[in-house]
């Protein structure tokens, strides 16, 4: 049995590594909720603390995305502007390990729920602040969205296609990168707390998350020398077939250029094949890039997608069809690996869902909550804890009096 025929190994649902870890999620939209979504997938209990007057408005603007990144969480509505609301939050913090918030810098302090205030009463708390530019610095108080953070962090200066300017990805790269950096820092803080006994404040800037990725491209580019970007190559791009289908082809290493020439060019386009032979190194391919790109574009446009799939696969050449959502969630490869499924939104719509990469933990299939769905239960749990605490205190006082 080869790898393509091997059945997917079942994911392990227990014991999850973060079982027993409680997280209070005070954030909304995407950066914070995606971070806590990953923590849920790793076994943490996440309580979503929402404003009573509408809660997380991702529900309204992108309801399917809300359903994806908030599944497995419990929701409680708390007015953090009121004393009673802050008192309720403080009760929750008694048994909480991590707080994730996405307020603009300064807001949490005004509400008296910032790290300095909370850690004075709960010194073991790990408190992650996710903001556009960080809690300090000249830009800290500026508003922003993903496009602003991508621009400031350098990503929107980096091209991806031959002889074309930079373009923005359809993915919210800044938001999602910050989410994952927040997870990394939270996991590190939990590990550190095991030995130090102390919590930590994580000041996570979305823009700095982008910068940490952008540096990988900036490293080999001398802007002052007017150099071309070395990662942009004429054969490593998206082309269009004769039937109008996009296909991604990765002609980067020498062997793949050679394979492409042998599989497709010599039989029917010897002049282009000759140009390929002349471009026998990375340097010459970059120098002849405009000509090679034009020839490749014209040649690939002569045949349909089915033809190119046969030729490229037979020639062991990196290629991929460009998948939309329907193709992704029915892709035989993903199905065989057991990483795609579907979930139901609050409106009853079935949407595709992808498992946490790595294959170790099954994650949660519990639907995302409506606002305050678990509020009564959580409040009842807090009352029960308070009763047990009072009962224990009374018993201790009685024993002391008897002695």
User: How many other C-beta atoms are found inside a 10 Å radius of the C-beta of residue 37?
Assistant: 25
The residue to which tokens 């309204």 are assigned: 60
3-state secondary structure of 83: helix
Beta strands in 181-257 (DSSP E): 200-205, 236-240, 246-250
Contact 239, 249 (CB under 8 A): yes
Q: 135 with 203: CB under 8 angstroms?
A: yes
d(CA 165, CA 158): 8
- C-alpha of 303 from chain center: 37
For 92, other C-beta atoms within 10 Å of its C-beta total: 19
Across the beta sheet with 45-50, the strand order is 74-77, 45-50, 22-25, 98-101, 126-131, 200-205
Residue in this structure with the two tokens 């530019």, named with its chain if needed = 133
CA–CA separation, 254 and 234 (whole Å): 13
**Strand-pair category, 126-131 with 200-205:** parallel
Helix (H, G, I), strand (E, B) or coil at 127: strand
Active site residue ranges: 175
Q: How far apart are CA 321 and CA 310, in angstroms?
A: 12
* Separation between Cα atoms, residue 39 and residue 24, nearest integer Å: 11
> Do the beta carbons of residue 319 and residue 325 sit within 8 Å?
no
């Amino acid at each position: 049995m080869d790898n393509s025929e091997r059945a997917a190994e079942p994911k392990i649902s227990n014991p999850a590594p973060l079982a027993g870890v409680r997280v209070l999620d005070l954030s909304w939209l995407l950066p914070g909720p995606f971070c806590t979504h990953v923590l849920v997938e790793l076994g943490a209990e996440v309580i979503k603390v929402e404003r009573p007057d509408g809660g997380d408005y991702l529900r309204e603007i992108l309801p399917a995305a809300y359903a994806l990144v908030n599944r497995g969480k419990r929701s409680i509505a708390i007015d953090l502007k009121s004393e009673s609301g802050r008192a309720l939050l403080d009760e929750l913090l008694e048994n909480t390990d991590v707080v994730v918030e996405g307020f603009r810098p300064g807001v949490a302090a005004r509400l008296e729920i910032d790290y300095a205030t909370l850690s004075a009463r709960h010194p073991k708390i790990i408190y992650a602040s996710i903001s556009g530019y960080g809690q300090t610095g000249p830009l800290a108080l500026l508003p922003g969205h993903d496009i602003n953070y991508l621009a400031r962090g350098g990503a929107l200066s980096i091209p991806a296609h031959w002889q074309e300017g930079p373009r923005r990805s359809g993915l919210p790269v800044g938001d999602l990168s910050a989410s994952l950096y927040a997870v990394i820092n939270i996991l590190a803080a939990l590990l550190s707390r095991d030995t130090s006994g102390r919590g930590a404040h994580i000041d996570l800037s979305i823009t700095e998350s982008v910068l940490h990725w952008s540096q990988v491209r900036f490293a080999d580019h001398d802007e002052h020398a007017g150099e071309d970007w070395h990662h942009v190559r004429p054969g490593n791009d998206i082309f269009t077939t004769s039937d109008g289908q996009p296909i991604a082809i990765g002609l980067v290493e020498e062997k793949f250029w050679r394979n492409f020439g042998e599989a497709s060019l010599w039989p029917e386009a010897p002049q282009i094949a000759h140009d390929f032979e002349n471009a026998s190194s990375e340097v010459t391919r970059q120098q002849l890039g405009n000509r090679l790109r034009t020839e490749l574009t014209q040649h690939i446009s002569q045949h349909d997608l089915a033809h190119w799939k046969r030729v490229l696969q037979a020639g062991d050449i990196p290629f991929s069809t460009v998948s939309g959502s329907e193709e992704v969630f029915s892709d035989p490869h993903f199905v065989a690996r057991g990483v795609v499924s579907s979930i139901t939104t609050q409106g009853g719509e079935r949407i595709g869902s992808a498992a946490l990469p790595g294959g170790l933990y099954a994650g949660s299939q519990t639907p995302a909550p409506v606002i305050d769905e678990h509020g009564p239960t959580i409040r009842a749990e807090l009352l029960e804890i308070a009763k047990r605490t009072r009962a224990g205190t009374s018993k201790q006082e009685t024993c002391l009096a008897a002695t």
